[in-house]
Amino acid sequence: MTTFVLVHGAWHGPWAWDRLTPLLHQAGARTIAPALTLDGDVGLHTHVQEVIAALDAAADDTLADALRDDLVLVGHSYAGLVVRQAADLRPDLVDHVILLDGWAGDDGAGMFGLAPEAFVHAIQAAARTSVDDQIPAPAPAMFGVTDPDDAAWLAQRLRPQPLRTFTETTRLSGAVNRIPGTGIYCRPQTYAFDQFAAAIGYRPIALDGPHDVMLTDPQALARLLLQAHAGQFNNEKLQD
């Protein structure tokens, strides 16, 4: 059996996967969706430890079944950085890392080092509107969610993101580079997520949909995650 550990991106929560997880369960997979702390002055390294705790718990649970599950660690957007460091610290537990429109790089990578200058300035300006270095959540349209009902649902759930999660950088020993990796990037692209994936040796795979495709087209994403882990690709585009 395969366990997908699904790590949400900035401003989101584990609820971001609510439309996806039933589809993975129907396919026979297990899922774990840890919550990253968004309160207070936490940083990227706090989030790494929270993902490690989820990986350790998943490994303990599946070992009780006498045969460990495959563990697939999925990171959306900002969480691409988080899951790469978590996998680097637990390389014996993680069988596959999948980035979903994920920011990623080698040792020392961080959001402000990878993002365009205009993005960095916009985030810094937004954080200055807060008294506690919290970045207010963007509008749902910034994540590609334009359906009025979906946008309202998302807007109610988005939360401010601590600035330190964007300023801290990863610490990688290189162990993560021995774990197979895939970089799913959504089209039309918002940032160069295919290039981030290719630069670290991950195979880029295209998926037509917005940045928050797990909300707008969970069926297509579920198929792609399952196929990516099974290694069933014949070309870059998901076949219906």
pLDDT tens digits for range 46-67: 999 999 999 999 888 755 455 5
Domains of the chain: 2-230 (3.40.50.1820)
Q: Is residue 227 predicted with pLDDT exceeding 60?
A: yes
Question: Which residues partner with 207 through β-bridges?
Answer: 186
Chain-centre distance of CA 218, in angstroms?
Answer: 15
Instruction: Mention every residue, 6+ apart, whose C-beta is less than 8 A from residue 153.
Output: none
- For residue range 65-106, list pLDDT tens digits in order: 555 678 999 999 999 999 999 999 999 999 999 999 999 999
Question: Which residues partner with 96 through β-bridges?
Answer: 72
3-state secondary structure of 15: helix
Q: Is residue 233 predicted with pLDDT exceeding 70?
A: no
pLDDT of the residue at 238: 42
Share of the chain above pLDDT 70, in %: 93
| Dist. CA 61–CA 42, nearest whole Å | 28
The DSSP secondary-structure symbol of 28 reads: T
Residue type, 131: V
pLDDT of the residue at 61: 72
- For residue range 136-195, list pLDDT tens digits in order: 999 999 999 999 999 999 999 999 999 999 999 999 999 999 999 999 999 999 999 999
Q: What is the pTM of this model?
A: 0.94
**Mean pLDDT computed over 126-134:** 91
Question: Which residues partner with 98 through β-bridges?
Answer: 74, 182
Q: Where are the beta strands (DSSP E) in the chain?
A: 2-7, 30-32, 70-76, 96-100, 134-135, 161-162, 181-187, 203-208
Question: Which residues partner with 195 through β-bridges?
Answer: none
